[in-house]
Homo-oligomer: A and B are copies of this chain.
Amino acid sequence: MKIAVLPGDGIGTEIVAEAIKVLDALGLPFEMESALVGGAAYEAHGHPLPESTLKLAKESDAILFGAVGDWKYDKLDRPLRPEQAILGLRKHLGLFANFRPAICYEQLVGASSLKPELIAGLDILIIRELTGDIYFGQPRGRRTAVDGHFPGAEEAFDTMRYSRPEIERIAHVAFQAARKRSKRVTSVDKANVLETFQFWKDVMTEVGQQYPDVELQHMYVDNAAMQLVKAPKAFDVIVTGNMFGDILSDEASMLTGSIGMLPSASLNAKNQGLYEPSHGSAPDIAGKGVANPLATILSAAMMLRFSLNQEAAAQRIEAAVQSVLAQGLRTPDIYSAGTTKVGTAQMGDAVVTAL
């Protein structure tokens, strides 16, 4: 079981260190190797995703990823910016299936912007297609417009696209995930405006016929953005494209109020996966020892489950996280009166103890 460890920038190094503590404590025969990625890799090698890092990632069964990005790289040319490392890993490893749970932990209900009764018990799984859509579609660029409202003007453009097999494979992922949950899938599209998403809807419907035990509902993306606010618990599994998934998964995770708790997994057809917290690199608190390591620790649990076939170990970690929450331990992002404020390392240590 080979794990590539890519801590990245900002709080990435701190939170990944705690996840490694937890993995080490399991006593399983992991081989772990670290490499630079994002801004840290740019500083050292002039590129956010150096060849050596990509090679390590490809050779590993799983990648434990921290976070990348810092304001200081905003002025770099796009191909050199930290987030290109994430896009590059997704593309080169074919990580097409992104799992982002939005779960509201009982003890953290108060951290949500939403009224407790609307959010308590929330447990949504957002499945986002991650290697297609307008993220990677060609052609794209700048040119002189030949038609449209202002022919002759300078314009920029991108191409949204999905092919049938791309939609089919993510549909199967969603229906199979729903079978292990409450058997309901909401496919989010914009079929009333976009050719791409009329096709998406058609193919989802076709694949759905192979899963008669799973209920399939279609919803427009604008309505989904509303319903997530109005009645988030009405959702179970949401499946959508790369662009809409980017927006809706962030909206859904913020609904919980505790994005510092939410892991994610991005898998390819061989179950190789990249595991990272749903939050970013938070350069404002980097190096202060206050970041919440639990999303990364829970990402390590997902890694054990999906890529390393260690379900029991995954459950041990998840139970340990529940236990530290029950003990009242909180990093500052989830702190509330009556609980005990701890730092990044203390939180990691507490999870190890609870194991």
Binding site for B on A (CB under 8 A): 78, 81, 83, 87, 94, 113-115, 118, 131-132, 134-138, 140-142, 145, 147-150, 153-166, 190, 192-200, 221-223, 225-230, 243-244, 246-251, 253-255, 259
Contact = CB atoms under 8 A, between A and B. Distances in A.
A337 B276 CA distance: 46
A221 B193 contact: no
A197 B131 CA distance: 19
B156 A159 contact: no
21 contacts: A113-B114, A115-B115, A132-B149, A134-B160, A136-B148, A142-B199, A148-B161, A149-B163, A155-B163, A158-B159, A158-B161, A221-B246, A221-B247, A222-B247, A223-B250, A225-B254, A226-B251, A226-B253, A229-B229, A244-B247, A247-B247
B142 A195 contact: yes
Scoring A138, A149, A230 by chain B CB atoms within 10 A of each residue's CB, the highest score goes to: A149
A128 to B, nearest CB: 11
Given A83-B192, A193-B135, A196-B157, A163 B150 contact: yes
Contacts of A145: 161, 163
Contacts of A227: 254
Query: A-B pairs with the 10 shortest C-beta distances?
Result: A156-B199, A155-B163, A226-B254, A157-B161, A225-B251, A153-B163, A222-B250, A158-B160, A229-B254, A150-B165
